[in-house]
Structures are given as structure tokens and as C-alpha cells.
Amino acid sequence: MQREHFVSHQPVLISREETQAKLDRRNAMAGLHKNSQSYTTAERIEEIVQQHGQRVALKYGQQQITYHAMNARINQVAHALHDAGVRKGDVVALCMENRPGFFYVWFGLAKLGATVAFINTNVNGRILAHALQASSATKAVVGEECSAQFKAPELDSNLICWTWPEEDQAAGLSLLADAASTDNPPAAWRAGLTAGDPAVYIFTSGTTGLSKAALISHARWLMTGDVMQETVSASQTDCFYCFLPLYHGAAALSAAATAFTVGASLAVRRKFSTREFWSDVRQFNVTICQYVGEICRYLLNSPAQANDHQHNLRKMLGTGMTAEIWEKFIGRFGDMQIYESWGATESNTNTLNLDNRVGSCGRVPFWEKTNLRLVRFDVETETHIRDANGRFLLCAPGEAGEAIGMILDIPDSMAGRFEGYTSAEASEKKVLRNVFKDGDAWWSSGDLLRCDEDGYCWFVDRIGDTYRWKSENVSTLEVADSLADLPGLELVTVYGVQVPGIEGRAGMAAVVMQEGQVFDAKKFYDLASARLPRYAQPLFVRLTPVADMTGTYKLRKVDLQREGFDRSKISDTLLVRDLTAACYVPLTDEALQRALAS
């Protein structure tokens, strides 16, 4: 299913050569670091302190912490943890909400040459035990707000934990650090550490099962900061806004890495707040913000204010900004550069919209200059379409296919490298072999993209989210996008559910209304009918009080899909489309039979 608005309202086309020149400058920055170099995360922090020590590094509430002060506290943590037995090569879990202590512990461990496993602050029990086991962490630093989770009986009783208290307390690891030296620890403590070694483990968002620990090297973190500095022309006068959780790659790999590369400020909020977003932007003089698409929906759903245009936010980087949201966001909050992108924490390829092309997640001006390819994929059988020789087939312009990245192994280079996960088995599952010729290897993204005649790429859906109904492919993202401006809507999640005895999967929309708003089944029916072909209109509606989301604001559909429309398992109100009534009506056996017969 292709939406015409994806190619409407566009500016004058920028030449392929102009876009490629921007990409070439990014690529040059990506080549600055070698896997064998001894310059790592620790050296970058110490270097930026030498250059910008008196500038503000962190803004948090009423606190303004300079690079010099931040580094001094990092050093105290490093000394304290070294005294406690942490050494180069150790894996230490870090579970803490967004606050200065996160950076003190993260970079303190980096100065010891330890690997830091970022733990989702929302997990507990069996899932937390899995994360610790997957990362091989034998020690952990835990924010006081997460301490109860680390007392679960499922955890290894031999796990060594230090608690980091709230800011106004002197206890746990913070108290130990108070008595430690503020000097940079000896570089000898991390002797032998190279940029190719793992710096952090970042867990995938877990929308379809237990998370995997993606390996992020020091070189990858350094490269990200350098590349994004070039991309957004960041400088020491900028202030980045960090409200996405730091255990996620978007915050740690993009916002933090870039800010700490150029000596800019990073404004940190514990958790995202729709109510406080713009007041934070104004208070901290935020100029650059990392986003995910659902956050932008929340901001648009908030009541309009007279000062919506009064701020200095000029650049936004992220994923999930659809064309409709993009245009509404700019229309309401003022013109700004949107760097919509596609990729993954563990990916060896990506796209980035450098041309401010509305709705696009990037451009490939010349395919011979990238390791990215789009290959044909059958969403019904969830298999790749192959030629007579068993080789994969490239997509034509406008055709959706899986995005894959050729795995390169250039000596001492990060280019095209797939660093994988802590699990060799999980890493191998993400590799496609003998794709176009014997012996080649490609990273499998699990994402469907399409590319137009001008090389602009558009995100379609996750494989498994796109479904087939009435012999037509349906993109859950595009359906949700079409229904997103229903009056009073907070969020809509679209997915396919199996109907016994019927081929394919029928569309279902889980709807969350804003507080005080009532779902209007007739308006929803009219909106779906006006904007979507009949096969793409949701057959079912589920009215749910809250959205099932990950800690990184990605919709978690797996449980919703599993429950389907089983009234014995679901207490939420269930509706089904009724063409005769031109409305969605309560789900009964009779109503279902009418819907399936139509």
C-alpha cells in the first residue's frame, strides 16, 4: 500500500551530486578512527575538558555542571571503583534514570577500561536476570530509584552491587567517591585497551521478545560524535536536549556523543514530559533535540499555546517523523531542520535525511557508493524472493523490500563492520549469506523500506508488522498515520491479527484517547473510509486505556497480536467494522460474521 502524500508538497529537488557531497563529508569524519588506536572514550572526555573545561557540560534541573566539574566527579567514581576491585575488561551493569550520576559512572568505568552494560530501568525479574546474563555482568551500579528491582530472587546472589543515591544524599558509591581523588586516573589502568574493544552494551528495544545486547565499540561511539558534529554543524554554543533514556542508543550514541565531541551542553531530563518539554527547551536554551515519532505526536496532541513559536530549537534528529506529523509540527512550532533517519543500534548501514525532504528517512544518490541495498521480500510468507539461481533480487523504485547492509571487513576500519551482539548465535541470525554471490554476507535489518526514482528512502514497516489482507500488503505505519488526527486521539497502534479459516491477517487498531475524550466510532469509520482503501481499513478496534510501549517509546505489538480479538482474554472494549451501519459496532459473533462476509 503506497500513500500518495509521501511524494506531495515537496521542495525543489536537490541534485544527487549535492546530497552526495554532504554524505562524503560525513564519510570522511567516519574514517578518522581506527580500531587499533589507544584513543578511546576516556581520552575524548579528558581532551574536551582540556579545551572547554569551564563551559557547561550538563544542565539538570537547577544544576549547571561544567566539563571540569563533571570530569572531577567522573575521576572520583573511577578511583572509588578501582579501589573496590573493578579492572580493565570487567563488565559492569549500569541501571539508572537520566541524571548526572549516569555520566559519572559511565565515564568513570570507561576510564578503567571496563565495559558498561546499559540496563533498561523498567525491567525486573526474569528479564533483568536475562540482561545481566547476556552481558556477563558480574557487578552493577544501580540508581536508588531502581534498587528494588535488584533484590529480585531471580538474580545471581553473587552479583556485586553499588547503589547511587539521589542527588541530595551521600551514600553508597556516591559516598565512596566523595573521599576519592579528583585527578585523572592513570592511563596505565586501561593499558592495552583499543578503540575496537567494547565500550558499552546497549540492549535492543525488545518489541518482539527478550532483548539482545548489541556491542558498541569505543571507535563506534567516537565515530558517531564526529559524524553527527559534521552533519548538524554542532558547536560549543549548542545545547542538546536529552529526555530519551540514556540506556538507549539514540541518547547515548547520538545526543551525548555529539555534545561531548564539540564541548556543547546537554540538558538532561529524568523522563519525557509533554507538559514540560517546551518549558525545558526555553529554560535550557535548547537548540538541538533527539526525538522519536511518538513523542512528536504527544506534543502535537497537547493544547496549542500562544508562545508555541517562541524558542531556539532549530534542529531535530530522530526516527518516526512521518510526513503528516512533520508538516503539522513545523506548522505549529516553527520552521526547523529535521534529520529523519533509519538504522538500528547494531546496524552497519543507515540513511539520514540531509535535504529536509518531508517524510523521507534519507537518500541514496548513487547506489555504488553505499553498502545498503533493498531486496524483494514476500510479507505473506516472510521470505525473500529469489531468482532461478537462488539469489536475492533488488527492488525497483517504489517497491518495498528489506534493507540489508553488506558486511565489510576492512582492516582497522569501522566502515561496514557488523559488531553484532554478545551472543554469537544471535549475531549469526542477523547475517544473510550468499545473497548475490557465493561468500558474500549481509546484515539483515528486518525493516521494509522503499526508494523513489530520485533516491529518497521511505520507511514502510517492520517485517512482521506489515501484513497481507484481501491479497494486498498493508503497512501498519501508514494506516496508523492516516488515522492519527482523529479528534481527541492520544495514540493508535495498528497490527494484523489472524482470523480462523481466513487467509492473511485482518487489521486491528488499538486506540488510546486523551484524558477526558470519548472515542467516536462513527468519526473513526468515516476517517478510515475516506483515507484508506477498504482492504487497509482496520477490521477491528480495541479501546485500551494505555499504550503498550517500550521504555524508548516504541510500540510493543507482540502481546496485542497474540491476544487478537479473543473476548475471553480481553477486558478492553472490542469493536468491528460494519459496512451496513457505516460505523464500528460492538464485537459479537453475528457482527463478526457480517464483517467477514462484506
CB 460 within 8 A of CB 466: yes
| 35-40-42 Cα angle (round to 5) | 170
Cell 481466513, residue?
502
458: part of which helix (H) or strand (E)?
Answer: strand 456-462
The confidence score (pLDDT) of residue 3 equals: 32
> If DSSP codes are grouped into helix, strand and coil, which group holds residue 351?
strand
CA 272 to chain centre: 14
> If DSSP codes are grouped into helix, strand and coil, which group holds residue 210?
coil
> Rounded to an integer, what distance in angstroms lies between the CA atom of residue 576 and that of residue 541?
6
Residues 6 or more apart from 532 whose CB is under 8 A from it?
479, 482
> Rounded to an integer, what distance in angstroms lies between the CA atom of residue 124 and that of residue 460?
33
The confidence score (pLDDT) of residue 249 equals: 86
> Rounded to an integer, what distance in angstroms lies between the CA atom of residue 325 and that of residue 450?
19
Q: Are strands 441-451 and 401-406 parallel, antiparallel or unpaired?
A: antiparallel
**Strand ranges for 130-188 from DSSP E:** 139-143, 160-164
CB 401 within 8 A of CB 377: yes
Integer distance in angstroms from the first to the last C-alpha of the chain? Answer: 21
Query: Which pTM was predicted?
Result: 0.83
The CATH code for residues 467-597 is 3.30.300.30
182: left (phi over 0), alpha (psi -120 to 50) or beta: alpha
Give rounded-to-5 percent helix, strand, coil for the chain: 30, 25, 45
The confidence score (pLDDT) of residue 207 equals: 45
Question: Could you tell me the sign of the dihedral formed by the alpha carbons of 291, 295, 297, 298, in that order?
Answer: negative
Question: Could you tell me the sign of the dihedral formed by the alpha carbons of 456, 458, 464, 470, in that order?
Answer: negative
CB 577 within 8 A of CB 594: no
The confidence score (pLDDT) of residue 205 equals: 61
Q: Shortest CA distance to 442 belongs to which of 453, 452, 429?
A: 429
Residue 520 amino acid letter: D
CB 591 within 8 A of CB 597: no
Q: Shortest CA distance to 163 belongs to which of 105, 103, 87, 90?
A: 105
Residue 339 pairs in a beta bridge with 317
pLDDT tens over the chain, length 598 residues = 433 333 334 556 899 999 999 999 999 999 999 999 999 999 999 999 999 999 999 999 999 999 999 999 999 999 999 999 999 999 999 999 999 999 999 999 999 999 999 998 988 888 899 999 999 999 999 999 999 999 989 899 999 999 999 987 889 999 999 999 999 999 999 999 999 999 999 998 644 456 789 999 999 999 999 999 999 999 999 999 999 999 988 899 889 999 999 999 999 999 999 999 999 999 999 999 999 887 898 899 889 999 999 999 999 999 988 888 899 999 999 999 999 999 988 999 999 999 999 999 999 999 999 999 999 999 878 899 999 999 999 999 999 999 999 999 888 988 889 999 999 999 999 999 999 999 999 999 999 999 999 999 999 888 877 787 876 778 888 888 889 889 999 889 899 998 987 878 899 999 999 989 999 999 999 999 988 888 899 999 999 987 666 665 555 677 788 889 998 889 999 999 999 999 999 999 999 999 988 7
- For residue 427, give the C-alpha cell: 549475531
Q: Shortest CA distance to 259 belongs to which of 292, 235, 293, 276?
A: 235
Burial of 331-356, coded b for 16+ CB within 10 Å and e otherwise, reads: eebeebebbbbbbbbbbbbbbbbbbb
The confidence score (pLDDT) of residue 326 equals: 93
Residues 6 or more apart from 517 whose CB is under 8 A from it?
487, 488, 489, 490
Q: Are strands 372-378 and 401-406 parallel, antiparallel or unpaired?
A: antiparallel
CB 222 within 8 A of CB 41: yes
592: part of which helix (H) or strand (E)?
Answer: helix 589-597
CB 193 within 8 A of CB 45: no
Q: Are strands 351-352 and 337-342 parallel, antiparallel or unpaired?
A: antiparallel
| Residues, the chain | 598
575: part of which helix (H) or strand (E)?
Answer: strand 573-578
CB 81 within 8 A of CB 108: yes
The confidence score (pLDDT) of residue 5 equals: 32
- For residue 592, give the C-alpha cell: 463478526
CB 287 within 8 A of CB 314: yes
Residue 119 buriedness (CB in 10 A; 0-12 / 13-18 / 19+): buried
